[in-house]
Structure 1
Amino acid sequence: MASPLSSASAFLLLSLSALFVISPVHSLTCTSQSFTNNAVYKQCLDLPRLSSYLHWTYDQSNSSLSIAFIAPPPKSDGWIAWAINPTGTGMKGAQTLLAFKSDGDAMTVKTYNIKEIGPITESKISFEVWDLSAESDGGVMRLFAKVKVPGNAQTVNQVWQVGPSITAGLPDQHELQTANLNAKTTLSLVGEQMASPSGADSRTKMKNIHGILNVVSWGILFPIGAIVARYMRTFESADPAWFYLHVLCQVSAYAIGVAGWGIGLKLGSESEGVQFTDHRNIGIALFCLATVQNVKQSSPSIIFGTRKATSISGRGYSTVETKSTNNLYLPAVNGKALPTAMPCS
C-alpha cells in the first residue's frame, strides 16, 4: 500500500505536468504555434498588443500575401479582425477581414471597408482576397486568408482588433483601452521583420508628455504659488522674496499648463470617434480660469512700472503706490521708494 507521502508527491507531479501540457495557445510565442490544417508560413510575429500573433508568407512572383492571424476575443462569442490600411496607420481606411461565429460554433469571415469611424457594414475591400477561413478553439480564434497586395509594396500598414460580441450579424464596438487603440504596426514583406516595438509609440509618448506637463502645472506649481502667497507673506524676513517666488510659480505653471493643454487639444483632434468629454471640459475650464487670473493680475500699472501694494501695520493694511527700480517693484510713499516690497493687494 502506497504511503500518503508518495501519493501526495505523485499528485503534485501530475498537477505540474498538466500545467505544462494544458497551456493555452495564445500563451506561446509564434514560433511554437502550429495549425490543424498543417499550414506552414515563412515568417511569424508576436504582435505587441492584444495577445495576438501573425504568421505570413509573401510570394513576390504574384504579389500574394498568405496570412494566419491568431487572437483571443474578449468573450467566446466575440470577433477578431486583421486589416491592411493603404492610406493611413489607424482604423479609418482599413481594408478589414473579420472572423466570428455566425451560427452556433460555425466560423465565418467577412470583409469590411472602414471608410468612417462608427458602425460598419459588410462591404467589398480594395484588395483581392481568397481562401478565407477561420476556426476557434480553446478561447482563441484563427483567421486564414490570402491577399493580393500592390506589386511594388515592400511594407504594409497592418491593423488588428478584437471585439466582445456580434449583434444581428454585425460586430459590436471594441473596447477603447490603450491596447485596442494602439493595435497597429508596419509589416515588412521583403526581408526580415523588424522587432515588435516594446516601448510606447509616438502617440503614447505624447499622452505621457501631456499628463506630466499638466501634473507639474496644475498639480504642483499652481498650489505652491498659492501657498507661498498665503503663508510666506506674513514673515517679514521673506519679503520681498515671497512675491517673486509666487510670481515665478504662477507664470511657470501657466506656461507649462498651456503647453499641456495644447497637446491635449492635438491628441483630441487626432482621436476620431473617441471622445473624453469630461476630461476635455475640465481642461478647458482650467485653462480659462488660469487665463482670467493672469489677465486680472497683469494690470496696466504693473506693466508700465507701478503697482499697488499693502503694508502690514499691526492687523490693518494700508495701500501705497509702488515704482519700479531696475525692473524691481518696490513700494513708494510720497514718491520715495522703500527698501522692501510689500505684499500685493
Structure 2
Amino acid sequence: MMGRPLFLILGVAVLLFGWDASAQSSCPVTFTGGEAKTYQTCNNLQTLGATLAYTYVVENGSLDIAFQAAPAASGGWVAWGINPQGIQMIGTQALIAFRSSNGSTVVGTYNVQSKTAALNPSSISLTVTNKSAVYESSSGKITIFASLVLTSNQTSINQVWQVGSSVTNSTPAVHSTASADLSSLGTLDLRSGTSSVSSGISHQTLKNRHGVLTVVSWGILMPIGIMIARYAKTFKAADPAWFYLHAFCQTSGYIIGVSGWGTGLRLGSYSKGVEQTSHRRIGIALFCFATLQIFALFLRPNKNHKFRIYWNIYHHSTGYTVIILSIINIFKGFDILDPEKKWKNAYIGVLIAMGVIAAILEVVTWIIFFQRKSKNSTKPVTEMNGISSIHSHV
C-alpha cells in the first residue's frame, strides 16, 4: 500500500524536475573558448536558435557573457548587443563575430545606426574587455565571449541578437527581414534570468501603426479635406455636398490622427531617456492646431455675420498650418522609424499626385472666377442688384 503513494510522488517529481532539466539541457552552461568556463545563468533565447549564458555581479555591474548562435549561412555572422535607448535595433551597441578569410574567428564592436546600411567596425558606448570568439565546426555555431561593465545595481537590459549570411571586408551584410529576425530582441532581467521578447514585438507593431495612422490622417485625409473645401465649392452643383465631404475628411482625419498621436506617446515610453525633440514638439503643435481646426466646425457663424471674416481667417490659417506641420513631421518620422524605402517613395508619390490635382483645379477655379466676373460686369446695375432693388420697393 505504501508503494503506490511513493510511486506517485516519485512520478510527479520526475515530471516536474525532469521538465526543468530538459529545459536547461538544450542551453549549455559550459562553453569552451580555449578553456572551459561556467556561467551562473543560462537562457535559450526565443528566436534564431540562440543561447546566452552570463554571470552578473550586481555590486560593480560586471557582466560576463557567452552568446552562441549559428550564422544564417556558411561565411555569415552572429551578433549580440545591448541597446541603452530602448527595445529596438537602432542604437544597439553590438558585438559581431564571424570567420575571417584565414579561418580564424574574430569579434568586433559595432554601433548600429541603420537597418539597411552596411555596418563598419566602430567604438561603442559600453566598456568591453576580454572579447573573443570561437567557431565550432561540429555544430556550425559561433560563440562570442566578452566582459562588459554596466551601471552598478542595474536590474535589466534591452538585448538584441541577430545572425547574417555573409561578411565582406569585415562588414556584415544586412540580415534577413523574416519574422524570427525582426523579433530577436527583448528585455533581460539580469537577476532572475528571465528573458522576454513580447515587448519587442509590440514595439515594432506600435511603430508600424504609428506611421500608418499618421500618414493616413494628417498626411492624406486632411489635405484632401482642404482641397475639397477650396475647389469643390467653386461648382454650384456641388453645394452643399462639398461641405459635408470636407467635414467628413477633417473629422475622420482628426480622429485617426489622435490615435496615431497616442501611439507616438506610447512609443516614447518604450525609449525612456531618448527623446526625438523636434518630432515630438511638432507633433504636439500639430495636435493643438488640428484641435482648433475641429472646433471651427462648432464655432462657424452664418455667412452674413459680421464676425464671419475673422472666422474665415482663423479657419484657413489653422488648416494650412496643419498641412505644413504634418508633411514636415511625417518626413521626420520616416527618418526616425527608417522603414523600407518604398513606403517613403509611396508617400512622396501621393503628395505629387495631390499637388498636380491641386494645380489643375487651381487653374480651373481662377478661370471660372474670371468668367463669372466678366459676365457680371456686363450686366446692368439693376440686374446685378436685383435683390436689393426688390427689397427697396417692398
**Residue in 2 that maps onto 1:186:** 187
Aligned residue in 2 for 1:247: 246
Q: Which moved more, 1:115-124 or 1:93-102?
A: 115-124
Structure 2: which 5+ residue stretches go unaligned? 1-21, 258-322, 370-374, 377-384, 389-394
Match of 1:267 among 333, 341, 353: 333
Q: 1:196 to 1:133 in 2, by over 3 A?
A: same
Matched, 1:32 2:29: no
Task: Show the 5 A alignment for 1:173-252.
Answer: 173-175=173-175, 177=177, 180=181, 183-191=184-192, 193=194, 195-197=196-198, 200-211=201-212, 243=242, 245-252=244-251
Summarize deviations over 1:83-138 as a string: whole Å, max 9, x none.
Answer: 2345666556644322212256x552322252865541365874142263323343
| Contact 2:80–2:95 (CA under 8 A) maintained in structure 1 | yes
Residues in 2 aligned to 1:75 and 1:177: alpha-carbon distance in whole angstroms: 15
* Residues 128, 146 of structure 2: 8 Å contact kept: no
Which digits, 9 at most, give the CA deviation of each residue in 1:200-252, with x for residues without a partner? 33343131243356568969xx7xx99xxx9xxxxx9xx97855554345445
- 2:160 is aligned to 159
Verify the 8 A CA contact 2:94 2:112 in the aligned structure 1. Answer: no
**What letter matches 2:147 in structure 1?**
K
| 8 Å contact kept, 1:81–1:99 | yes
TM-score, normalising length: structure 2: 0.50
1:172 aligns with 2:172: yes
Q: TM-score, normalised by structure 1?
A: 0.56
Q: Distance in 1 between matches of 2:249 and 2:124?
A: 57
Distance between the aligned counterparts of 1:285 and 1:247, measured in 2?
Answer: 23
**Matching residue's letter, 1:108:** T
Q: Is the 8 A contact 1:58 1:65 kept in 2?
A: yes
2:63 & 2:177 partners in 1: Cα distance? Answer: 30
Tell me if structure 1 keeps the 8 A contact 2:41–2:53: yes
Residue pairs, 1:323-334, within 5 angstroms: none
Q: Of residues 78, 81, 97 in structure 2, which corresponds to 1:80?
A: 78
Q: CA deviation at 1:69?
A: 1.5
Residues 31 and 38 in structure 2, CA contact (< 8 A), matched pair in contact too: no
More strand as a share of residues: 1
**Which amino acid in structure 2 is aligned with residue 247 of structure 1?**
H
Q: 1:251 to 1:215 in 2, by over 3 A?
A: closer
Q: Are 1:41 and 1:56, in contact at CA under 8 Å, matched by a contact in 2?
A: yes
1:53 aligns with 2:38: no
- Partner of residue 18, structure 1: none
Q: Which has the higher helix share?
A: 2
Distance 1:153 1:213, change over 3 A: closer
Q: 1:98 aligns with which of 91, 96, 99?
A: 96
1:280 is matched with which residue? 344
In structure 2, relative to structure 1, the CA distance for the partners of 1:200 and 1:157 (3 Å cut) is closer
SS at match of 2:333: helix
Given the superposition, is the C-alpha separation of residues 218 and 86 from structure 1 closer, same or farther in structure 2, using an over 3 Å criterion?
Answer: closer
Q: Is contact 2:87-2:203 (8 Å) kept?
A: no
Equivalent-residue separation in structure 2 for 1:72 and 1:335 (angstroms)? 86
Amino acid at match of 1:279: W
Q: 1:207–1:278: structure 2 CA closer, same or farther, 3 Å change rule?
A: same
Q: Retained in 1: the 8 A contact 2:58–2:154?
A: no
Are 1:78 and 1:166, in contact at CA under 8 Å, matched by a contact in 2?
Answer: yes
Deviation at 1:173, TM superposition (A): 2.5
Task: Identify the match of residue 112 of structure 1 among 102, 109, 112.
Answer: 109
Does the CA-based 8 Å contact 1:111-1:124 persist in structure 2? Answer: no
Partner Cα separation in structure 1 for residue 104 and residue 387 of structure 2 = 89
Which structure 1 residue ranges, 5 or more long, are not aligned? 1-27, 231-235, 302-306, 309-318, 321-332, 337-345
Matched, 1:67 2:131: no
Distance in 2 separating the partners of 1:209 and 1:61 = 40
CA contact (8 A) 1:80 1:99 kept: yes
Name the amino acid aligned to 1:282. Answer: A
CA gap of 1:30–1:204, structure 2 versus 1, over 3 A, is farther
The separation in 2 between residues aligned to 1:296 and 1:254, in whole angstroms, is 24
Cα distance in 2 for residues equivalent to 1:94 and 1:198: 16
Q: How many residues align?
A: 274
1:200 aligns to what SS in structure 2? helix
Whether the 8 Å CA contact 2:27–2:51 is kept in 1: the answer is no
Q: Aligned Cα RMSD in Å?
A: 5.2
**CA distance in structure 1 between the aligned counterparts of 2:68 and 2:190, rounded to whole angstroms:** 19
Which shows bigger deviation, 107-116 or 157-166?
Answer: 107-116
Kindly report which structure 2 residues correspond to 1:15-30, keeping only aligned pairs within 5 A, or say none: none
The residue identity in structure 2 corresponding to 1:187 is: L
1:273-323 C-alpha deviation (Å, 9 max, x unpaired): x5644432331342454477679989xx9xxxxx99xxxxxxxxxx99xxx
Aligned residue number for residue 133 of structure 1: 133
Q: Give 1:99's aligned amino acid.
A: A
The amino acid of 1:82's aligned partner reads W
Distance in structure 2 (CA, Å) of the matches to 1:185 and 1:161: 12
